């Protein structure tokens, strides 16, 4: 079974879950960990969510910040080959990974390809539009 976890400081994870479920209605079940909204240590919240993960389960974890405490809370679980943690979560990378691995066994190569594909969506639009306008002028 595939499990998807969004984990962040405050409510980013919950908002991302809501948005992804709207855009990809057939996405696997998503669990959101919104850290530091209550007095539950993030490590306990992570342990609770990962409790019951079996060796046949595939777990995709998306976190907000590489050096953040939420991401660091998942590090002890990376000795399990079925748990994959991706940080710097944003909508393009989540969509690329979820759609790029749908119906397939998750592999590091599929995740890397999805991340590479998603990076093309990170664009400074001011420069992008300027380059498009200049290209259009050259074509005339």
pLDDT in tens, 16-62: 999 999 999 999 999 999 999 999 999 999 999 999 899 999 999 99
Q: Is 5 exposed, middle or buried (0-12, 13-18, 19+ CB in 10 A)?
A: buried
Centroid of chain to Cα 127: 27
The secondary structure of residue 104, as a DSSP letter, is S
pLDDT band, residue 64 (cuts 50/70/90): very high
Q: Which domains does the chain have, with CATH numbers?
A: 2-139 (3.40.50.510)
Q: Residue 67's pLDDT is what?
A: 96
pLDDT in tens, 101-130: 988 999 999 999 999 999 999 999 999 999
3-class DSSP state of 37: coil
Smallest Cα–Cα separation from 27: which of 125, 122, 116, 94? 94
Q: Is the pLDDT of residue 5 over 90?
A: yes
Q: Is 113 exposed, middle or buried (0-12, 13-18, 19+ CB in 10 A)?
A: middle
User: Edge-to-edge strand order for the sheet containing 58-63?
Assistant: 30-35, 2-9, 58-63, 83-87
Q: Is the pLDDT of residue 136 over 90?
A: no
Tokens of 99: 């759609």
Measured CA to CA, the distance from residue 137 to residue 132 in angstroms comes to 9
């Amino acid at each position: 079974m595939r499990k998807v976890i969004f984990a962040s400081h405050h409510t980013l994870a919950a908002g991302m879950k809501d948005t992804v479920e709207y855009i990809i209605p057939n996405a696997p079940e998503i669990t959101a960990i919104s850290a530091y909204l209550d007095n539950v240590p993030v490590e306990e919240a992570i342990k609770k969510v990962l409790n019951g993960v079996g060796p046949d389960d595939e777990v995709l974890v998306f976190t907000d910040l590489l050096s953040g405490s939420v991401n660091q809370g998942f590090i002890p679980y990376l000795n399990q080959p079925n748990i994959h943690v991706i940080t710097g979560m944003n909508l393009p990378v989540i969509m690329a990974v979820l759609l790029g691995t749908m119906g397939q066994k998750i592999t590091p190569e599929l995740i890397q390809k999805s991340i590479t594909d998603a990076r093309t969506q990170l664009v400074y639009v001011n420069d992008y539009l300027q380059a498009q306008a200049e290209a259009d002028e050259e074509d005339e």
